[in-house]
Chain A
């Protein structure tokens, strides 16, 4: 079945550092890819998405490019802030029944220190 693998955390950075979180996937079809973020005490929020190969999703300074040849969707941000401390989840969509479901990676906790 489909699966998502992302780097384990925690990742600890200083403010203004460069952040990369690796994500690779296996899928039988042509999934859409997502990054979700979970801030402390909150539910998940969609951060960005890409629906086809070579698409780049971007939001709040974060970017990720859908790379079909390497089956990857790595998340990057050039200069992190303390407010970016959160757990980040990579996910792919899959067709089931009458709709879609999301398959998630294990999550990567990011801690940004001032």
Chain B
């Protein structure tokens, strides 16, 4: 089975702190994604990457950056955390495009609270 592992399930950080959310997948997938999930808004794409060292902005990239130094690992960085970044963050990966029949696999999520 494909496994997408997010290193932290629950985090509490202070306003202004730098926050790293780590994600690792074990199936040699090309594409990796970071979404945030908020009640009533569903999932919104922050950033995605379709290759090592490649990244593209999603719908809500402001206040975030990402890093993909190795194929299996995709990190989300909050340079200076703010309270409006309190949310559930979901990492996902896929072998190729979903329109080509590939499935996107999600991690269990990281609950981030910024106080």
Question: Which A positions have Cβ atoms within 8 angstroms of B?
Answer: 4, 8, 31-32, 34, 36, 41-46, 51, 89, 91, 93, 95-107
Interface size of B by Cβ–Cβ distance < 8 Å? Answer: 32
Kindly report which residue of chain A lies nearest to residue B30, judged by CB atoms: A99
**Chain B neighbourhood of A45, CB < 8 A:** 106
Q: Are A99 and B40 within 8 A (Cβ)?
A: no
Binding stretch for chain A, among B14-22, B64-72, B76-84, B94-102: B94-102
Question: Which B positions have Cβ atoms within 8 angstroms of A?
Answer: 4, 30-31, 33, 35, 39-45, 48, 50-51, 56, 58, 90, 92, 94, 96-101, 103-104, 106-109
Q: Are A95 and B104 within 8 A (Cβ)?
A: no
The 6 A-B residue pairs with the shortest CB-CB distance in the complex, in nearest-first order: A104-B42, A43-B106, A100-B97, A104-B43, A44-B106, A100-B98
- Bound together, the chains give a CA A88 to CA B109 distance in angstroms of 16
- Bound together, the chains give a CA A34 to CA B102 distance in angstroms of 12
Instruction: Kindly count the residue-residue contacts between A and B in the assembled complex, taking CB atoms under 8 Å apart.
Output: 71
- Bound together, the chains give a CA A37 to CA B3 distance in angstroms of 17
Kindly report which residue of chain B lies nearest to residue A1, judged by CB atoms: B59
- Bound together, the chains give a CA A43 to CA B103 distance in angstroms of 14
Jot down 28 A-B pairs with beta carbons below 8 A, ordered by A: A4-B42, A32-B98, A36-B106, A43-B4, A43-B90, A43-B107, A44-B90, A44-B92, A46-B104, A51-B101, A89-B42, A89-B43, A96-B48, A97-B50, A98-B51, A99-B31, A99-B48, A99-B96, A99-B97, A100-B94, A100-B98, A101-B33, A101-B48, A102-B98, A104-B44, A106-B41, A106-B42, A107-B39
**Chain B neighbourhood of A34, CB < 8 A:** 98
- Bound together, the chains give a CA A104 to CA B92 distance in angstroms of 14
**Chain A neighbourhood of B42, CB < 8 A:** 4, 89, 104-107
- Bound together, the chains give a CA A89 to CA B104 distance in angstroms of 14
**Chain B neighbourhood of A44, CB < 8 A:** 43, 90, 92, 106
- Bound together, the chains give a CA A97 to CA B104 distance in angstroms of 16
Kindly report which residue of chain A lies nearest to residue B96, judged by CB atoms: A99
**Chain B neighbourhood of A42, CB < 8 A:** 108
**Chain A neighbourhood of B109, CB < 8 A:** 43
